Amino acid sequence: MTAIARTVVLDLRTAVAYRSQALLLFVVVALIEFKNPILLVPALALLAIPAIAAFPLQAADKAGLETLYAVLPVPRRSVLYGHYAWALATYLALAAAGAMFTLAFARAQADAFDGRTLLVVLTLSWAVFVVNVAIQFPLFIRFGHSRIGGLGTVLPVALIMAVIIKLHLTTRLHVTVASVQAWLPLVWVAGAVAIVASVAVAIAADTRRVR
């Protein structure tokens, strides 16, 4: 098992201790969006998935594990790569679960929900997730979750909400499933590039970490 895989497994074991909070987050968001299933996965990506992905960083900061990682015979970059891999795995797992609930909620309400719509929903959730993690993780790694957890959580959410409000107020913009189809691959690629850039920033920030 590689050092990256070991970090992912360690993050998973750490997150298990927060399983009650994670389940509560998921259930609350699902209940809120029951009447609007098309918004369920994006809402999870905004409110639940980043928080759950950050649980290991939060726990490591409280227990001083990041300082311990620095003296272990494990490449520091591998630890950081592992944290991001854990975040991506969290997104994939919870987005898939959210998609199943979305289809179930839509069927229960007899809403038309085809594969193209689901793809748009997942792409939107990917963009929301990327903005959150790309901003949060370098901040958490540089300053520690206990020092900047509040700002690191609020900043990307505020940015996303500002964009949503701006789009809502722009009456000339009429967004439909058909109108955004051509942009979906670009969103996925841009998201991947943003994650890679965030990893690079996190690596640079880690050398100046406030320990």
Flag residues of the chain having pLDDT under 50.
none
Between the two ends of the chain, the Cα-to-Cα distance in Å is: 28
pLDDT at 157 (0 to 100): 83
Among 30, 21, 13, 8, which residue's Cα sits nearest to residue 74? 8
53-85 tens-digit pLDDT: 999 888 887 776 666 666 666 777 888 999 999
What does the domain layout of the chain look like in residue ranges?
Answer: 3-206
pLDDT at 1 (0 to 100): 63
Handedness of CA 130, 132, 137, 142 (dihedral sign): positive
User: Do the Cβ atoms of 190 and 123 come closer than 8 Å?
Assistant: no
pLDDT at 177 (0 to 100): 60
Which residue type does 178 have? A
34-50 tens-digit pLDDT: 888 888 999 999 999 99
Angstrom CA distances, 156 to 7, 45, 74, 78, 96, stand at 25, 12, 31, 25, 23
Which residue is it, tokens 């957890």? 149
